[in-house]
Amino acid sequence: MARTLSSGLLTEITANQLHPFVAVEIFFPKYTTRIWGGYGTIRINSQDFLGVGTLGAISSVNETTQTQASGLTLSLSGIPSDLLAVAMAEQYQGNIVNIYFGCLNEDHSVIESPINIFSGRIDVMSLSEGKESSTLTITVESRLIDLEKPRLRRYTAEDQKIDFADDKGLDFVASIQETQIQWGS
């Protein structure tokens, strides 16, 4: 996927010193979690992202020129226990996850327009608790994975009314199935 970098971000990544960051945004039904791998709070797209220190690990983001679904795995550590409890209690499967890459300047401010390097949906989420810290592992699939799901729709009157409640076109299919039609004289 082609991405256009802002002039500020392009200048920063070609400079002698680079202060990169990765931020993760996870949408749950009742709230949204926004965290990044640093300290303090930063703003991306007018939203506050909470610094959790060491974010954990993100598997490589694979992109191809072919239309195929690819996913990644997030291992988030250092997350406050109250957020972990809420995350595990929520319905998570299918929720949207965005991963951003950006750079900070010397004043610890976000340089304009961090890029969204991956957007997908949560597939599996698991928690492994240790003595000192807990790690939340999230498997995220590309939205293209939906292309591989079978569509379980039928050409029936009931199915047609799901999308078009007043449509009566398929109501008569059963009655005309065995009908003999004479063409011509």
Could you tell me which residues are beta bridge partners of residue 26?
Answer: 33, 97
Write down the pLDDT at residue 64.
62
**Burial of 83 from C-beta contacts in 10 A (0-12 / 13-18 / 19+):** middle
Write down the pLDDT at residue 48.
92
Q: Categorize the per-residue pLDDT at 140 as very low, low, confident or very high, splitting at 50, 70 and 90.
A: confident
- CA-to-CA dists, residue 23 to 33, 57, 185, angstroms: 11, 12, 75
- Evaluate the CA torsion angle 25, 26, 29, 30 in order and state its sign: negative
Is the CB of residue 74 less than 8 Å from the CB of residue 35? Answer: no
Write down the pLDDT at residue 109.
83
In this predicted model, what pLDDT tens digit does every residue of 69-86 receive, in sequence order? 677 888 877 666 666 777
**Among 48-62, 69-83, 114-128, 160-174, whose mean pLDDT is lowest?**
69-83
Write down the pLDDT at residue 166.
92
Q: How many CB atoms lie within 10 A of CB 122?
A: 20
Cα separation, 35 vs 56, whole angstroms: 11
Q: Categorize the per-residue pLDDT at 29 as very low, low, confident or very high, splitting at 50, 70 and 90.
A: confident
Q: What is the mean pLDDT of residues 108-123?
A: 84
